[in-house]
Amino acid sequence: MLKLGVNIDHVATVRQARYPGLLDAHNCEPDVLAAALVCERAGAECITVHLRSDRRHIQDADVFRLRERLDVRLNLEMGNTPEILEIALRVRPDEVCLVPEGRREVTTEGGLAVVGNEEELRETVARLRGAGIRVSLFVEPEEGQLDASAAIGADMVELHTGAFANAQGAAQLEHLERIERASVHAFQAGLKVNAGHGINYSNIRLIRKVPHLSDLNIGHSIVSRAVFVGLEAAVREMIFMMSAME
């Protein structure tokens, strides 16, 4: 059965719009921890946050507070940088997802280039796993990237669904088939398979049918829906859509 991981970065985005540049923003609104606890109560099985090098939304203090208080899994997205790696090793989240990171991007654009960067990624994966942290790589649904992910010791991959989410009609179905093939390939390579980026209350009807998927990490759509119905209701709606039968 599919599990929902809620990315709460955009809760922090709203906070930082009013309180920019704060390194310890736990007294500012909206409270990231409070949002995470609502998601947990609503049935989310994982909370995802991206601690970016520029700290544009999630702050260091957020990650430590979440680690202390959450009963569900904490998934820390991060670029492969020495500074953030050291923080991850101190926090010890349940999972780390290594992602590409660009300062000018609005959100993560494209998958991590595992092919060609195996050595540096292998070292990071080994350090994280040595600390008891499960490691995922956010990759394009391409066999080469999946094989390289398995070869460097990753526990799982998160398939980038952005191209699928941005397409329509026949083009979207072509991207869906690509994701399905990648999921089967990754599963056969011994990787746990997750997916995320651009998944919403509409296209979930297609994504939920992909074989071997374990977790879906969804953020923007849920936070957007929460503006109208509240965060707990938005999470419950998504969980229902993930499991609904047609």
Half-sphere exposure of 138 (CA within 13 A, CB side): 26
Phi, psi of 88 (to 5 degrees): -60, -40
Q: Residues 10, 57, 185, 197: which is the catalytic one?
A: 197
Q: Is 77 a catalytic residue?
A: yes
Are the beta carbons of 70 and 102 closer than 8 angstroms?
no
Q: Residues 10, 40, 50, 180: which is the catalytic one?
A: 50
Given this model, what pLDDT does residue 21 score? 62
Strands 192-196 and 3-7: unpaired
- Structure-block tokens of residue 163: 């191209």
Q: Is 26 a catalytic residue?
A: no
- Structure-block tokens of residue 66: 């979440």
Q: Which residue has the tokens 């940088």?
A: 81
Percent of the chain whose pLDDT exceeds 70: 93
User: Residue 135, SS3?
Assistant: strand
Q: Is 50 a catalytic residue?
A: yes
Higher pLDDT, 17 or 107: 17
Rounded distance between C-alpha atoms, residue 89 and residue 91, angstroms: 6
Q: Which of 116, 109, 112 is nearest to 138 (CA)?
A: 112
Mean pLDDT of the chain: 94
Tell me: the pLDDT tens digits for 141-194?
999 999 999 999 999 999 999 999 999 999 999 999 999 999 999 999 999 999
Domains and CATH numbers, the chain: 3-243 (3.20.20.70)
Q: What is the DSSP letter of 106?
A: S
Q: Residues 40, 57, 77, 160: which is the catalytic one?
A: 77
Are the beta carbons of 174 and 154 closer than 8 angstroms?
no
Are the beta carbons of 30 and 15 closer than 8 angstroms?
yes
Global confidence as pTM:
0.93
Q: Which of 239, 162, 163, 159 is nearest to 192 (CA)?
A: 159
Rounded distance between C-alpha atoms, residue 129 and residue 96, angstroms: 10
Tell me: the pLDDT tens digits for 53-89?
999 999 999 999 999 999 999 999 999 999 999 999 9
Q: How many helices (H) and strands (E) does the chain have?
A: 11, 8
Indicate if the pLDDT at residue 133 is higher than 70: yes
Q: Which residue has the tokens 């507070």?
A: 65
Given this model, what pLDDT does residue 244 score? 72
